[in-house]
Structure 1
Amino acid sequence: MAEPRVPPGRAGRLRLRRSLDVARRGADLLDQKLRVLRTRHEELLRTERDARERWHEQLARAERWLRRGLLLGGEEAMETADEARLAELSVSWTATMGVRHPDTAACTPPRRRPEDPAPANTALAHAEAAYAEALRAAAAYAVARSASRAVGEEAVRTRRRLRALRRHWVPRLETALAAADRALEQSEHEDAVRRRWAAGTVDGRPHAR
């Protein structure tokens, strides 16, 4: 981080004071932002964890029903399955402290058409419904994971900027301002001495010319 460039005299000191005020206010705002981001990130991490568990549970349930259906009907029972079709997914977005991230997902699995053959047995019908739920759970997990990552990454960037301000930039400005104050005080003292010399006195006493 470059040292602050300061013009000499009172103008330089005034500029340093303004820069220091701006840096301190910026650090305070970043600190507030970081607290909000951390709180939100923790919430999103919990949501992500719950969504992941639900997805795994739904997927395991669907696989159990599928195994039962295959035990009852054999491999040929899968021949009645309809051709693969795409699910529909709609994602809504929101923002946290300026960070845009997904909020919710509406997932619609492929619907069975009237001409599609029915599952070969009840277990496969349950498997079909369970896989649809697993698909919805997977979409919810993907949204939660993406949101937690986006907010978490912004929290890391904000923490770095805050650290740079408080550990580097603000102390440098404070040091520069202290040096400017000393230089200005010394300059004013020297000016006062020169004025007294010009007036014929030093420390209140006449001096020999």
Structure 2
Amino acid sequence: MSGRGLPPGRAGRLRLRLRLDTALRGADVLDRKLLVLLDRERVLRKDEEASARLWSHRLREAETWLLRGMLVSGEQALAPGTAAGRATLTIAYTTAMGVRYPAGVICVPAVRPPDDPTPRNSALVRAEAAYRDVVSTAAEYASAREATRLVAAEVRRTRQRVRALRHHWIPRLSRELVAAEQSLEQAEHEESVRRRWASAPGRVADAGSSRT
């Protein structure tokens, strides 16, 4: 996007104008994209903060029930049982302004094996259920955090591109166009002077005298 390699004269000036128009239109498009992304980032960041608060609340709740259960039955109540399966996650995605990011997650917690002993008291039963909720809310928080990260990264890239166009390429192309127009104007003026000088009556008579 510089003046190097441009043809001379009007063709070069025309090409510079086209490049400048393209840069201006591109900057306008990126400005609109940036506004949409900034609005989306604000919404996602609020969702992330809400998910973080819920996850933290659920974790404290689960830890409280676990502590109560241990106070009733002792630490031996936490003896490991049969290995349970893993929780499964299903992540839904959406796209905004070319950015693909998580739009939500469905978490299916691990199920206790049928032959595994049940918790020794009601507090541990509540703790087990509470930790299932912790897993689900942790998945939702992770999804919201990743969505915010991806959109925020695109915001930074778009802002850099706008800054490069507005502060570097557009001013540079504008200067090159002004220089090209001045150069072309000067060349046309010099050509006009030469033509007037060549067609002046005195110049024609001098030319005739020199031939005789």
Same fold? TM cut 0.5 = yes
Report the counterpart of residue 37 of structure 1 in structure 2: 37
Do the aligned partners of 2:84 and 2:111 also contact (CA within 8 Å) in 1? no
Is 101-110 or 74-83 further displaced after alignment?
74-83
Deviation at 1:8, TM superposition (A): 1.1
1:27-86 Cα distance to aligned partner (Å, 9 max, x none): 001111111111111111111111011101001100000011111111222237442421
Report the counterpart of residue 147 of structure 1 in structure 2: 147
Report the counterpart of residue 58 of structure 1 in structure 2: 58
Report the counterpart of residue 4 of structure 1 in structure 2: 3
Q: How many residue pairs were aligned? A: 204
Report the counterpart of residue 99 of structure 1 in structure 2: 99
> Alignment partner of 1:44: what SS?
helix
Separation in 2, partners of 1:189, 1:35:
47
Separation in 1, partners of 2:138, 2:60:
12
Name stretches of at least 5 consecutive residues in structure 2 with no aligned partner: 207-212
Name stretches of at least 5 consecutive residues in structure 1 with no aligned partner: none
Do the aligned partners of 2:87 and 2:107 also contact (CA within 8 Å) in 1? yes
Report the counterpart of residue 117 of structure 1 in structure 2: 117
Matched, 1:173 2:187: no
Matched, 1:135 2:146: no
The code of the aligned residue for 1:48 comes to: E
Do the aligned partners of 2:20 and 2:174 also contact (CA within 8 Å) in 1? yes
Separation in 2, partners of 1:84, 1:63:
20
Q: TM-score, normalised by structure 1?
A: 0.92
Separation in 1, partners of 2:157, 2:16:
26
Separation in 2, partners of 1:25, 1:31:
10
Report the counterpart of residue 20 of structure 1 in structure 2: 20
Separation in 2, partners of 1:78, 1:197:
107
Indicate the RMSD between aligned Cα atoms, in angstroms. Answer: 1.6
Separation in 2, partners of 1:148, 1:87:
24
Do the aligned partners of 1:80 and 1:119 also contact (CA within 8 Å) in 2? no
